[in-house]
Every structure is written in C-alpha cells, then in structure tokens.
C-alpha cells in the first residue's frame, strides 16, 4: 500500500473538522491528508469551509501552521532560481488602498543589483491588485511561462506577473473559498497562503509589508505583529531570509486610488517625484530588500534620482509586451468634490477603497472585470488644511451611473473638521 493510499484510508474530512472544532491540535498526517485531498477534489468545498472556520475560531499552533504551509507548497511545483546570477529577493504586501508600492519598488531594487521575482495578485473588494494596475498599460501581460519568468529575471532583473497554475494550487482553491466564507482574517490561513507561494517561487530573501488600520485586513497593531511574526518564522524555517515591516494603512497611500491612476503615480516616483509617503515606504522597503539580499551598501535613493530605476521599469514593461510610452487610459466621466468649509481633512482608507470599487476599479468576485480608468484622485491628504471651495477629490469612471453610490462612500470617508487630524507614523515597527 502506498503512503497516499494509506493516508486516504486513514482519515475522513469530518474527523479532521471535529479535531479542530474541539480545539485540538491537528497531526502532521491529518494536515498532509486534508490539504492533498482538497487539492484533488476529494474533500468538498463545504467541508473545507467548515475546517477554515474552525481554524479561524480555534487557531493553530506554530507547528500546525508550519506543517500546513509545507503541505500547501507540496501541492505543486517549486521554482528553481539557482540559474539567476543575481541574489534574489521579493516583497509582499498584505494589501491596502492606494498601495502601488510594488510598481516602483521592483525595478528600483533590480536597478541596485538584485533580482526581484514578484508574483502578484488581483484586487478583491476594497483592496487593489498589482496585476490589475499593470494591465492598464497597453499590451502588458501578466501570464508568463516558467521559462519566460526565469529568462526575464536573468535579463532584466525584475518580473511582476501572476503565479503559474502549478505553484501552490492548494492555496488557489482555498483562497477563493476563504473569500466567500468569512474566513479571510484567520492569521494561520493568511500566513500559510502568502508564505506557501513565496517559498514555492524560490526566492532567497523576502521582505513583508504587513498593513494595519481601517484599509487593511489587520485592524490592530497586535494582530499585525502576530501575523508578521508568524510569516517571518515560516520563511526562516524554510531557508528564506525573511523580515517584516508593520506599516500604517489607516489612510490611503499617495493621492491616487485605482488602476491607471496608480500607475501614473508610480511613474512619478520613478521619475524622482511623487507623494512623500509613497517615496518613503518605497525606500524603506528597498533598503530592507537590499540588506536581505546582501547588498546593504547599495543606495536606492540614488537609483531613483539618476534614472536607473526608470530605465529598469521601461525594460520590465517592454519584456512583458507593454509599451511604457503609451498613454494610460482616461475615464470618460469625472466629478470633482469641493470643501464646503474651512478646516482640516480626515481621510479613511477603507471608505476611499470602497468608493474606488464602486467606480469600477475593483471587483466583488475574482472573475469580475475591472475598469482600468476608474478611480479616485485625492487633492487633499489626511491632516492637510483646506479652505471652503478648494477641491477635495475627483471621482473618475467610465459609467456615470456609478458616481452616486461612489459619492456616498467618498463623502463618508473624506471629511473636513475643525481640529487637525492626527497622522500616524508610516512605518510602525520592524519584525525580524
């Protein structure tokens, strides 16, 4: 009898669900079996939904999370990047509003001598997706073969693309299920989802950007710290040098929230300008990535200033079929909202993300289309003074019928008050 046949005969989904439901620790064999059986379709979605909810409510020990992650990795292939001549380092953000950091960061770190194998995802709900943003560039494609992926890493040093179907397929199934069963927030499942893909992609080092605040999945610093610690430990246990920054996502990053509007803002950063907070976080993460790759002496600020990062951006976009010089899509409809009184602006990330989603920049289901041109441009940032009649923000969409619902979300998210609103530090702490 093979080990797989033994495992198939040794467990049932109901027994595994009951074990976790009752607060007990899953054995290595139970975890290996249920992840494998679910990937092959022998555990039904409703059974894995019940297990995911039990994990959300009961938690997992560090050993359980490590084994669950290993089982997710083992469900598919693991890329071999040993042929890449540069040190490899990746970055992952847990998701936010206006979080276009991957766009300038990937070519910037590559311009400093590392290779960045960035496997990214699509937006869902109020959070934006890197691939959706890049697909607003005419001709750019997200899907690469493993050979194309490796060749671009060798030739350009930077790739941003979708994960291949063979990489942690268990995570692909479970991720879609978690989104529709109210189990997205389970720290063990977040950590294993992120780290199984990042470890399977074969990077030598990894920097995590763990968001906290209204626009993030983690609402408290304690939860964000716990998630960061869990993922750092998982990465290090699998031989990947891993550190994390816990960063604020109570207000959007930058002025732009959407797809093409965020690409335009990222290009401003690569050109040596851009919003102060976007530049600050890009450089902070770049320094961490370069240090993790053994390139601590490199100066990412200089690579932004002298144009090397922009050159790498253009080469990266061209390598994936895009035209870096082509005009970005422009929305057919827009509405500018102005301040009705003097005061100070307060901006809530979650509400702005919902407004951008209402305009068509995001999706409710993974198969939904998104509008490249839709989004919001903030004319005043959180904590800034404003006078009556000054523009606060602009709504952009291809469908005028979307504006009223988006406007209702935006009016609740961007308000003018008398006292100056407090701004939080962008980088809250480092976990490593």
Catalytic sites, residue numbers: 92, 171, 178, 193, 197
Based on the number of CB atoms within 10 Å of its own CB, is 411 exposed (0-12), middle (13-18) or buried (19 or more)? middle
For residue 24, the tally of other CB atoms under 10 A from its CB is: 11
Which residues make Cβ contacts (< 8 Å) with residue 363, sequence separation at least 6?
122, 123, 124, 125, 357, 369, 370
Q: Which residues of 295-314 are buried (b: 16+ CB within 10 A; e: fewer)?
A: beebebeebbeeebbbebbb
Query: What is d(CA 366, CA 348) in angstroms, rounded to the nearest whole number?
Result: 25
Query: What is d(CA 256, CA 399) in angstroms, rounded to the nearest whole number?
Result: 19
User: Rg of the Cα trace of the chain?
Assistant: 22
Which residues make Cβ contacts (< 8 Å) with residue 122, sequence separation at least 6?
129, 131, 132, 363, 366
Angstrom distances, CA of residue 264 to CA of 96, 118, 127? 18, 20, 18
């Amino acid at each position: 009898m093979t080990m797989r046949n033994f495992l198939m005969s040794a467990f049932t989904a109901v027994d595994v669900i009951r074990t976790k439901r009752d607060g007990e620790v899953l054995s290595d064999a139970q975890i290996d079996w249920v992840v494998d059986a679910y990937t092959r379709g022998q555990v039904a979605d409703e059974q894995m939904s019940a297990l995911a909810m039990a994990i959300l409510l009961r938690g997992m020990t560090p050993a359980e999370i490590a084994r669950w992650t290993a089982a997710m990795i083992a469900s598919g292939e693991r890329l071999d990047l040993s042929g890449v001549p540069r040190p490899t380092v990746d970055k992952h953000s847990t998701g936010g509003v206006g979080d276009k950091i991957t766009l300038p960061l990937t070519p910037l770190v590559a311009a400093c001598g590392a290779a960045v194998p960035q496997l990214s995802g699509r937006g869902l709900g109020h959070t934006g997706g890197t691939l959706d943003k890049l697909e607003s560039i005419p001709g750019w494609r997200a899907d690469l073969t493993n050979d194309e992926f490796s060749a671009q890493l060798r030739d350009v040093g930077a790739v941003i693309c979708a994960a291949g179907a063979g990489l942690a397929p268990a995570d692909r199934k479970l991720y879609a299920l978690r989104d529709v069963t109210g189990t997205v927030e389970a720290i063990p499942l977040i950590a294993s989802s992120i780290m199984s893909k990042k470890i399977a992609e074969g990077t030598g080092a990894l920097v995590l950007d763990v968001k906290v605040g209204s626009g993030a999945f983690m609402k408290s610093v304690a939860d964000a710290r716990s998630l960061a610690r869990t993922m750092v430990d998982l990465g290090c246990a699998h031989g990947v040098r891993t550190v994390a920054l816990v960063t604020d996502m109570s207000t959007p990053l930058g002025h732009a929230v959407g797809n093409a509007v965020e690409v335009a803002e990222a290009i401003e950063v690569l050109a040596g300008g851009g919003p102060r907070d976007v530049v600050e976080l890009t450089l902070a993460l770049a320094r961490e990535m370069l240090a993790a790759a053994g390139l601590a002496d490199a100066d990412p600020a200089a690579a932004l200033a002298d144009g090397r990062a922009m050159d790498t951006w253009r080469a990266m976009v061209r390598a994936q079929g895009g035209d870096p010089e082509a005009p970005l899509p422009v929305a057919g409809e827009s509405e500018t909202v102005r301040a009705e009184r003097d005061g100070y602006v307060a901006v809530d990330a979650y509400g702005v993300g919902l407004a951008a989603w209402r305009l068509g920049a995001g999706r409710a289901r993974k198969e939904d289309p998104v509008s490249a041109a839709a989004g919001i441009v903030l004319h005043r940032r959180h904590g800034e003074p404003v006078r009556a009649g000054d523009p606060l923000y602009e709504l952009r969409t291809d469908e005028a019928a979307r504006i009223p619902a988006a406007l209702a979300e935006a009016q609740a998210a961007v308000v003018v008050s008398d006292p100056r609103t407090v701004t939080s530090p962008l980088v809250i702490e480092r976990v490593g």
